[in-house]
Chain A
Amino acid sequence: MPSQLAPVATALPLTSQPLPFPPQTGRAGISGFPSPAQDYEPRTLDLNARLIKHPTQTFYLTATGDSMEGWGIFEGDLLVVDRSVTPRLGHILVAMFDEEVLIKRYALYRGTPHLCSAHPHYPPLPLEGTDCQLWGVVRAVIHEYLP
């Protein structure tokens, strides 16, 4: 059986849905004479603004375990979890499964929704007939290389 399960994680398409966020388009339609100083407005890039779309509903978690490495989540990584996002196939979720907090990829396996990992040793967990509860959707993973 495990040999059959092996290709599951990689065989699934990332998502059949369009990207959740439309790409940023340039600003258009500025009327009047543009100030020459406008191009030089001081601007800093705010990582909070980029990674946290809903501050009230965003929580941080740490990942434990090795079975999501295929999706780029390593032991000790910081997860930015947004509870206000409606989960779609392909999202990486935090879910309560049998009193355990799990991080898994929400995907179809043999035509039904499963919680999948990226490791051949851990078979997909079927969602049907379980009391699995969604906790939140992972928006970003932060992997720090230096202490």
Chain B
Amino acid sequence: MIGLVDANNFYVSCERVFNPALEGKPVGVMSNNDGCVIARSEEMKAMEIAMGTPAYQLEGLRRRGAIHLLSSNYELYGDMSARLAQLLRDACPEVAPYSIDEMFIYLDGFDDAQCQAIGAALRRRIRRHLGLPVCVGLAPTHTLAKLANHVAKKQPHYEGVCLLHGESLTTQVVLRQLAVSEVWGVGRRLAERLAVSGIRTAWDLRECDPKQLRKRFSVVLARTALELRGTPCLEMNAVEQPRQRIMTSRSFGQSTGVKEELHAALRRHAQRSAEKLRQQGSLARAVMLFLNTNRHRKDQPQLSPSAMIPLAAPTDDTRLILEAVREGLDQMYRPGYTFMKAGVMLLDLVDAQQYQLSLLQPTTKAHPQLMKTVDAINQKMGQGTLRFGMTDADAPWQLRCAHRSRRYTTCWEELMEAGTHPGAIADARARREKQRLAGGKRLAKTRANGFTDHGNEYQQR
């Protein structure tokens, strides 16, 4: 049985862990440079504020206090994601992170009741130990697990855990209600083509003859149909279509702990990811890196560090992504461990066509012609013919993040405060403010005195 653990409104949930005042209120998280909304709480969804709404359109609501808008705090989200993955690794035999907030778990050899019990226990545990609400979808295949998770999220009576079989009445009911575009790997354009052939729901797709699908559409779609019947035939990285994130990861031929070698591997993966990104015409907003030690070597110290680097503006420029890789490796590298696997994930993708460069955004050094040429040469002459050397380190990562919450888990100066009695935090804040004002006044006074002294001197002379 395969399980998909998916955090509900992950970015917002991370913020709520450390700021209880946000609980139950409409909260949105904005993209880098506070451009548009990229994550919404249920309350904000209920207000019909769409994903991608430009932040300036919501400024009025924010000022009135009707909604809370936060700048994205990628350090916090990256850390919470790493904690989630580690918690699952401690509890399950095998875990495969699929994106920042989705992790597949593999539960072989358990029966249905046991799987359901594990799912419910994990959900409780994650909520209690990390403060994050999650839902768990269980099914024999990745595609069905994803759908099961969708159902667990949307239908409250499942209480966050839904198990779907390949053959069962529940599965049939669920698939009949689900538009085909909701199925993993079926994009908008493909859904339109399928609709022409009369395939509208997930059930329609499941009932199609895989051979026909293979002939008329693609082998991936044929496999998806089989997966919906409960026959596992998709490798985790095989799903091509509407990608919210791009991942390139590989195990090393020989494990290594040398920083330069790890850097080289990450750079290679980053270049490949950037190529995939340009192929599908997207821009990435953040880069996530991870390293894994060999978990079968119980004799070696284990570590699975990850790092999350936000990009100043959505980009597909390999050079900027490589800079983020260098920064990320510096953050997560620890000597004394031999790593087995490295990966690069590009996150929070936007459509390059739809993304318009605003005047307020800093202009990047993006050079579409150069990137196109590089890709063309690499396609013709083989992957990696043309590669990027070390890039300059002068680009400052000056992000606009006026409403960023504190980096509660990654910065000593920005820890969460706990009051020893009601009102203690407010008192301390008022005291600090008073001190600041008093200090400012005193400074102003001495400065004024200085000036008058000067004046007197001048007059005396």
Among residues of B, the one whose C-beta sits closest to the C-beta of A54 is: B129
Among residues of A, the one whose C-beta sits closest to the C-beta of B125 is: A84
Among residues of B, the one whose C-beta sits closest to the C-beta of A60 is: B415
- Known contacts A83-B131, A100-B422, A117-B420; A65 and B427 CB within 8 A of each other: yes
Is A109 interfacial (CB-CB < 8 Å)? no
Question: Closest approach, in angstroms, between the C-beta of B345 and any C-beta of chain A?
Answer: 20
Q: Is the CB of B130 within 8 A of A98?
A: no
Q: Is the CB of B424 within 8 A of A67?
A: yes
Q: Is the CB of B86 within 8 A of A65?
A: no
Q: Is the CB of A102 within 8 A of B20?
A: no
B: contact size bracket: 20 to 34
- Known contacts A99-B20, A117-B421; A57 and B129 CB within 8 A of each other: yes
- A84 CA to B83 CA in the complex, in Å? 13
Is A107 interfacial (CB-CB < 8 Å)? no
- Known contacts A96-B20, A99-B21, A100-B425; A63 and B416 CB within 8 A of each other: no
Q: Is the CB of B128 within 8 A of A83?
A: yes
Is B87 interfacial (CB-CB < 8 Å)? yes
- Known contacts A57-B130, A83-B129, A83-B131; A73 and B420 CB within 8 A of each other: yes
- Known contacts A56-B90, A62-B416, A83-B129; A102 and B21 CB within 8 A of each other: no
Interface string of B81-117 (1 = CB under 8 A from A): 0010011001000000000000000000000000000
Interface string of A56-86 (1 = CB under 8 A from B): 1101111111111000010100110001100
Question: Closest approach, in angstroms, between the C-beta of B364 and any C-beta of chain A?
Answer: 35
Please indicate the chain A residues that have their CB under 8 angstroms from the CB of B418 in the complex: 61-64, 79, 94, 101-103
Question: Closest approach, in angstroms, between the C-beta of B22 and any C-beta of chain A?
Answer: 9
Among residues of B, the one whose C-beta sits closest to the C-beta of A71 is: B420
Please indicate the chain A residues that have their CB under 8 angstroms from the CB of B415 in the complex: 60-62, 78
Is B389 interfacial (CB-CB < 8 Å)? no
Most buried by B among A73, A75, A100: A100
The count of chain A contact residues (Cβ–Cβ below 8 Å) is: 35
Q: Is the CB of B129 within 8 A of A65?
A: no
Q: Is the CB of A64 within 8 A of B416?
A: no
Is B419 interfacial (CB-CB < 8 Å)? yes
- A122 CA to B420 CA in the complex, in Å? 10
Please indicate the chain A residues that have their CB under 8 angstroms from the CB of B129 in the complex: 56-57, 83-84
Q: Is the CB of A64 within 8 A of B131?
A: no
Please indicate the chain B residues that have their CB under 8 angstroms from the CB of A62 in the complex: 415-418
- Those of B124-177 within 8 Å (CB) of chain A: 128-131
- Known contacts A56-B90, A57-B87, A83-B131; A66 and B420 CB within 8 A of each other: yes
Among residues of B, the one whose C-beta sits closest to the C-beta of A102 is: B419
Is A114 interfacial (CB-CB < 8 Å)? no
Is B231 interfacial (CB-CB < 8 Å)? no
Q: Is the CB of B130 within 8 A of A83?
A: yes
Is B428 interfacial (CB-CB < 8 Å)? yes
Question: Closest approach, in angstroms, between the C-beta of A109 and any C-beta of chain B?
Answer: 15
Among residues of B, the one whose C-beta sits closest to the C-beta of A79 is: B418
Q: Is the CB of A65 within 8 A of B83?
A: no
- Those of A111-134 within 8 Å (CB) of chain B: 117, 119, 122, 125, 133
Interface string of B396-440 (1 = CB under 8 A from A): 000000000000110010011111111111011000000000000
- Known contacts A61-B415, A62-B418, A135-B131; A56 and B424 CB within 8 A of each other: no
- Known contacts A64-B425, A83-B130, A96-B20; A103 and B420 CB within 8 A of each other: yes
Please indicate the chain A residues that have their CB under 8 angstroms from the CB of B21 in the complex: 99
Q: Is the CB of A122 within 8 A of B131?
A: no
Query: 9 more A-B contacts (CB under 8 A) besides A56-B87, A84-B128, A101-B419?
Result: A56-B90, A59-B416, A63-B420, A83-B128, A84-B129, A101-B20, A101-B416, A102-B420, A103-B418
Residues in chain A within 8 A of chain B (CB atoms): 55-57, 59-68, 73, 75, 78-79, 83-84, 94, 96-104, 117, 119, 122, 125, 133, 135
Nearest 9 CB-CB pairs, A to B?
Answer: A65-B424, A65-B420, A68-B420, A103-B418, A67-B420, A67-B421, A122-B421, A96-B20, A57-B129
List 9 interface pairs A-B (beta carbons < 8 Å), by A numbering.
A56-B86, A57-B129, A63-B420, A64-B424, A65-B427, A94-B418, A99-B21, A102-B420, A104-B420
